[in-house]
Amino acid sequence: MYQFDEFTVDCDRFELRRKERAIRLERKPLELLILLIGCRDRVVTREEIANRLWGSEVFVDLEHGINTAIRKIRAALVDDPAEPRFIQTVTGLGYRFIAEVRSDLPPIESGTGDVIQQIIGDKRDAKGLSIGHWASIAVVVVLAIGGLIYWSAPFSKHPEIKRLTRLTFDSGLQSTPTLSPDGRYIAFSSDRDGSSNIWVQQVGGSGAPTRVTDGKSSNWEPEWSPDGQYLAYRSESDGGGLFVVPALGGSGLQRRVSTFGHYPHWSPDGSKLLFQSHHFGNGSKIFLVGVRDGSEPREILSSVTSNADILSAAWHPDGKRVSLWGWEVVPSPIPTFWTGSIDSSGAVVKTAISSELLKVAEGEAGASFGGWADSDSKFCWDRSGRSVYFERMFRGARNIWKMQVDPETLKAVGLERITTGTELASDFALSGDGKRMVFTSKEETIRVWSFELKEASSDPVLDGKPISPAGMEAWENDLSKDGTKVAFSCKRAGQWDLCEQAVADGSTDVIASDDAFIRDEPHWSGDGKRLAYVRLKKSTGEMQVVTWDAATRQESVVSDLQHRAMFVHGWSPDDEWLLVAVEDVATGQTEIWKYPATVVSKPQDGQKVIAAGPGESLFQARYSPDGRWIVFEGVSSSGRGDQSAIYAIRANGGERVRVTDGQTWQDKPRWSADGKTIYFVAEQNGYLNVFSVAFDPVLGRRGGETRQITNFKTPEFAIAEVIPTIGFSVVGDKMLITMAQASGGVWLLDNVGQ
């Protein structure tokens, strides 16, 4: 056993604990941590790490594996690589463990032997069987169970090995890859030339990729046509939309087929494009448009999209039906899919999942699996109609899964993991014959960043600094009014905690751990003594409003558990009331209510503050500093899917005032300290940025033009993509926002369908 700081590494139980609380850490990272602690008097080279931990596993990208294991250790220990307390990088050599360790175990000897074997030897249980023997028995049991749950392929004496090959090596991020029908070429999006464009590259060739699109605006989300002649893609140029271009490009040969939309998918016969209205984690409407006939897009399956938040869509291989992936409040490790006809004939089928199969998935996902800040959305059918591939993040790693489906009933009957990496495998695509798959393997950090607002300057704000700990995903931040502490939702290995952090020294404490509830969107009271947030009961999907006392560190219930969506957005200036977006179960719309912050409220105790119009939902309500105005977001339906705009209304009632134009998605309104400026987050050129507009509280109207505050335009440093879970705070001259830093390349996996 090793002990250091607040941590214990129990080698017998193969477990990492912090103050007696177990911390999830996968096998390779934990083995590496044990190796580094055992060799704490010296530098452990990367070569020694590779030999000891991977040995003859020749199909592993060792550099990638070591980097990922180190990153996961630092995340578990909350260790900042810039100012390490535990793991120190020795540039060009390897790593050294630098903390003081308490242990009676002997140091690990130099060499290439198995780390765990050196430390714990051949441990035996009470009945005399070694760990290795029990592991063998466990494998047999798992395989036996697998025979009951999974479809099995005919026995082959020579099964083909799934070969993994890296295809792109540029810095930055190469994403949304697509394979040509013959599997010989890939197209992908990359910012290698300073702006996001689409590139084509031969698979297995040594030549440089060829740029297909050319422009200062972003071009991305390509998909190859079934005949291999064209690429469909999303472009932000000329107002944005979907375009088609010859697969090898050509200046002036691109053609717009829709003025809006994201993620185009060709129909099997190549005559139509299926696409969704939005990205950034917002619920989408689904559309079809003809590629050659010049027709306008038409919405399909509205009976589903009007009652569920749809994340993505894909063609069924028969070309007559479309499947949708929907987000649900009660998290499930297996996505919810609906399949229906494109001409509205026949019933829409929701994929049924047996309790046995769900139990298998829950075992893989872990008890703390949750759907907040969930960017998983990519899926596709194989050409036989018997399997659905989808991406899913379990325990901090996103992998690609294959769900076997009964082609007649669409009931799920089996589940298989296709990739087993420790990073984020996403944006995948199959070849025409279903034997090859390309995907992006991505590294991403999600942290709260602090920026200084410069009202007198017309230059966009770009320079800032991260303030949340490295290694954990930090979402939904809220800065206290005095600027001394920040609350945020922390995601580690799939587990959600609610945390607070002192801005001055960076010390972080857990407010509430992941338990029977998931807690969402914390907001400090004006005096900084309480937090308000909602919590979701995992077993039932019920929601309620609660507050947390910073002095007693106890939660107090503000509203009963209810079977409807509720979102806390802010406090009144006197800290007596909470502004809450509440769902009307009869209409499905959300409206703005206020609830007393100090007593347990029944639904009838709340007061409706702002009513929604027909087909509209309201969110993100905030009182102005003097309490005279409320700013909020209004989401309404249109022929292009939902649209969002910012409004203001007097707190004592009256007509609402439109603050923004609603031409792009506009969200998260926040007041300046003097109540004369409204800041908000909006989409621009495919990325989210911060904007502001002057507001006259006396005349009750906006003044002047909208001003751009930030200019983020690369995935290497951008506001995080899942806009419902982004945190955004403005206090004085400080602005805090959830930022993402992403990099990664395209990989090819052969023999997927074997």
Cβ(481)–Cβ(530) below 8 Å = no
The arithmetic mean of pLDDT across residues 549-553, rounded, is: 95
What is the rounded radius of gyration, in angstroms, for the C-alpha atoms of the chain?
A: 26
Burial of 554 per CB tally in 10 Å (0-12, 13-18, 19+): exposed
What are the φ and ψ backbone dihedral angles of 355, each rounded to 5 degrees?
-65, -30
CATH of 2-121, one of 3.40.50.150, 1.10.10.10, 3.30.420.40, 1.10.287.70: 1.10.10.10
The arithmetic mean of pLDDT across residues 94-122, rounded, is: 71
Half-sphere exposure (Cβ direction) of 580: Cα atoms closer than 13 Å: 32
Long-range contacts of 51-58 (CB under 8 A, 24+ apart): 51/112, 52/111, 52/112, 52/113, 52/114, 52/115, 53/28, 53/115, 55/112
What digits encode the pLDDT tens for the residues 423-438? 788 899 999 888 899 9
Pairing mode, strands 643-650 and 629-636: antiparallel
Residue whose token pair is 């805090």: 736
Q: How far apart are CA 714 and CA 173, in angstroms?
A: 9
Mean of the per-residue pLDDT values of the chain:
85
Q: Which residues of 228-263 are buried (b: 16+ CB within 10 A; e: fewer)?
A: bebbbbbbbbeebbbbbbebebeeeebeebbebbbb
Handedness of CA 83, 85, 89, 90 (dihedral sign): positive
Stretch among 123-127, 371-375, 505-509 having the lowest mean pLDDT: 123-127
Residue whose token pair is 């596709």: 380
Provide the token pair at 639.
């022929």
**pTM, rounded to two decimals:** 0.79
- How big is the CA angle at 602 (ends 597 and 603), to the nearest 5 degrees? 100
Residue 88: name the closest of 78, 74, 101, 108 by CA.
74
Confidence of residue 46 (pLDDT cuts 50, 70, 90): confident
Higher model confidence: residue 397 or residue 754? 397
- What confidence score (pLDDT) does residue 370 get? 55
Residues paired with 309 in a beta bridge: 327
Confidence of residue 604 (pLDDT cuts 50, 70, 90): low
Q: How far apart are CA 401 and CA 172, in angstroms?
A: 26
Enclosing H/E stretch for 383: none
| Domain extent listing, the chain | 2-121
Residue 244: name the closest of 293, 175, 313 by CA.
293
- What confidence score (pLDDT) does residue 122 get? 40
- Residue 35, helix vs strand vs coil: helix
- What confidence score (pLDDT) does residue 678 get? 97
Q: What is the 3-state secondary structure (H, E, C) of 179-217?
A: ECCCCCEEEEEECCCCCCEEEEEECCCCCCCEECCCCCC
Provide the token pair at 108.
């690990």
